Amino acid sequence: MIQEEYRGARQWSRNRQAIAIVVWISFLTAAIGTMVFFALFDPVALSGIFDEDLEIGRQAGYAAGFFFFWILSAICSAVTAWLVRTAPKRDAQHR
Amino acid sequence: MSSGPDNEQVQAAPMYASAEKIYPREIKGRFESLSKLATLILLGLFYGVPWLMWDERQAVLFDMPARKFYLLGVTLWPQDFPYLALLLIIAALSLFFFTALLGRVWCGFACPQTVWTEAFIWIEQWTEGTRSRRIKLDKAPWSWNKLRRKGSKQLLWLTLSLWTGFTFVGFFAPIRELGPDLLTLSAGGWAMFWTLFYGLATYGNAGYMREQVCKYMCPYARFQSAMFDKDTLIISYDETRGEPRGGRKRTADPQALGLGDCIDCSLCVQVCPTGIDIRDGLQYDCIACAACIDACDSVMDKMTYPRGLIRYSTEHGMQQRDTRILRPRIFVYAALLLVLLGGMVTSMATRTPIILDVIRDRNSLYRELPDGFVENIYTLKIINQADDNRNFRLSVDGVRGISLDGVPAAVAVNGGGVLSLPVRARAHRDDAYGIMNIAFTVTDVEDASIAMTEDSRFLGPTP
């Protein structure tokens, strides 16, 4: 069949799919989280709460917040994906 | 497969049966023009908007360091966050509405992933040539020609990516200062970082990941079918008309050969950016870019068969039944959209351009003055959201005889400025006991209709 030859033969392995999904979805979640969080809190005001001597610029604060949310949601997302994938086989039959 | 165009390439293809990469074939046609137009408009908006000016300032600027958003004539503050949330809800609802009505037009014509992939494919075609040339080039051993073509593609890709990153950051920092700063490497570290970050993400997504993003990573691609019904516009292959498919001479009579209209030229598969065969039916990999419609129409024209073997249709349409555009689902989405949009416009049009925040001094509950008065200390934050300087009058009520001490008759706040004002409120101890509710009001001196009231507490001794 001709179409088989033209068909997108490019398939990602399950691991690669999982990594891509985890990274991307946690990125989106982190973007929304950062937006909501910093609309409510000013990073400059926040840095004063933790340590009075700590002087963080707004931009560094935003970036730190974003990466914090990204790493947090990536961990959550990765553990979820891992648990779902490694669930015992016999349970899968009852789904 | 005798009469399909480019037979040579069709035969050369089996060598690529397990190729890692999809080489979408170039195609001309109605939908290709439409998609080119959409791509140019959207890219034009993205690259152009940060350069627009509005009275001495950037027209659209999300000034994160200053925590202010400029949108044409409007200045938005963190306190205006509900508008942003509302805007996101409206965007999501519009996506539902258009999906129910037109299927995946978003995916095919407006999604950034599609738009930038399109732009990157233009560069690829310009530097490496047509689909068959690209396949050959990838297979060929390294040569001066290959190096030159691949090198110029990478150079253009990287330039476009970096420019994209720069433009993206230009929405958050004044772009006219950012450009020279980046070139002279004097921009802040974070501006550099985000330029590279966004640039490399563009490079990876549009240059390499392409359809894989839609297939594996996009949540919308997975749930869009929930908005579909039998009257949603989809791209479909007319199986009853096309089957049984098979090659034939242009002059042959398909009926005599017992064939349908599909000549099995595989062009529809070759042009597909996600590498599917639309003749297998509706698939979630299909981003509805309509490239296969253009391809098939061009073949039908050559064969002098009527167009539309692959066409925009609906499930009802394919079953020869009437398609209903106006159906409950559409009305519900449209009504919700109208209500939200109307609410947002009204609330933005009638919003008072001042914000008042009252922060009670937490260090002391109250202070008793020698003359029998009780005093509480507050910090008032007055934000003037208008663009011009204004004068405001302050007042307080809620407790009999309460007054502000040491506050001028009017305070001036610059356009777009914030005034932080410590004030002392006083009331006689006979009137102020326990916890009492009070309210501060700021009023524009020139226009009393511009006023804002904010509640707070006044503490006094227990009676």
User: pLDDT tens across B373-419, in order?
Assistant: 889 999 988 888 877 888 899 989 888 888 888 788 788 888 778 88
Q: Which residues of B touch A (CB under 8 A)?
A: 1, 10, 13-14, 16-22, 64-65, 67, 78, 81, 84-85, 188, 190-191, 193, 209, 211-213, 216-217, 219, 264, 266, 269-270, 272, 274-277, 279, 285
pLDDT reading at B171 higher than 80? yes
In a domain, residue B151? The reply is no
- Tell me the average pLDDT across B213-225: 86
- Tell me the average pLDDT across B314-332: 84
pLDDT band at A50 (very low <50, low <70, confident <90, very high): low
pLDDT at A6 (0 to 100)? 45
CB count within 10 Å of CB B145 equals 10
Token pair 């690259």 is at which residue?
A: B47
Contact across the interface for B17 and A62, Cβ inside 8 Å = no
What residue in A sits closest to B263 (Cα-Cα)?
Answer: A2
pLDDT band at B11 (very low <50, low <70, confident <90, very high): very low
- Tell me the average pLDDT across B55-71: 86
Q: Of B359, B371, B289, which Cα lies nearest the Cα of B105?
A: B289
pLDDT reading at A3 higher than 60? no
pLDDT at B335 (0 to 100)? 94
Chain-centre distance for alpha carbon B124: 25
Phi then psi for residue A54, to 5 deg, are -70, 115
pLDDT at A53 (0 to 100)? 61
pLDDT band at A8 (very low <50, low <70, confident <90, very high): very low
C-alpha distance from B400 to closest chain A C-alpha (Å): 35
pLDDT band at A54 (very low <50, low <70, confident <90, very high): low
Contact across the interface for A9 and B212, Cβ inside 8 Å = no
What residue in B sits closest to A39 (Cα-Cα)?
Answer: B78
Nearest to B277 among A7, A21, A38 (CB): A7
Chain-wide mean pLDDT for chain B?
A: 86
- Tell me the average pLDDT across A50-60: 71
pLDDT band at B196 (very low <50, low <70, confident <90, very high): very high
Q: How far is CA B193 from each of CA B54, B196, B365, rounded to the nearest angstrom? A: 28, 5, 47
Contact across the interface for B266 and A2, Cβ inside 8 Å = yes
Which residues of chain B have a CB within 8 Å of the CB of A12?
Answer: 212, 216
pLDDT at B10 (0 to 100)? 40
CATH at B379 = 2.60.40.10
pLDDT, tens digit, 9 for 90 and up, residues B260-310: 899 988 889 888 888 888 998 888 888 899 999 999 999 999 888 999 999
pLDDT at B123 (0 to 100)? 94
In a domain, residue B451? The reply is yes
pLDDT at B6 (0 to 100)? 41
Q: B392 with B444: CB under 8 angstroms?
A: yes
Which residues of chain A have a CB within 8 Å of the CB of B269?
Answer: 2-3, 6-7
Interface of A with B in 36-75 (CB under 8 A): 36, 38-40, 42, 57-60, 62-63
pTM: 0.79
pLDDT at A73 (0 to 100)? 95
pLDDT at A26 (0 to 100)? 94
Contact across the interface for B212 and A10, Cβ inside 8 Å = yes
pLDDT band at A91 (very low <50, low <70, confident <90, very high): low
**Residues 6 or more apart from B357 whose CB is under 8 A from it?**
B380, B381, B383, B454
pLDDT band at B327 (very low <50, low <70, confident <90, very high): confident
User: How many structural domains does chain B have?
Assistant: 1
Q: So where are chain A's domains?
A: 26-85
Which residues of chain A have a CB within 8 Å of the CB of B219?
Answer: 25
Contact across the interface for A60 and B190, Cβ inside 8 Å = yes
Per DSSP bridges, beta strands B373-384 and B68-71 are unpaired
Q: Is the ipTM of this complex over 0.85?
A: no
In a domain, residue B150? The reply is no
- Tell me the average pLDDT across B81-110: 89
C-alpha distance from A59 to closest chain B C-alpha (Å): 6
Nearest to B269 among A6, A40, A57 (CB): A6
- Tell me the average pLDDT across B8-19: 38
Which residues of chain B have a CB within 8 Å of the CB of A40?
Answer: 78, 81
Contact across the interface for B217 and A24, Cβ inside 8 Å = yes
Please confirm whether the linkage preceding B273 is cis (ω < 30° from 0).
Answer: no
Range of the domain at B446: 354-459
pLDDT at B333 (0 to 100)? 92
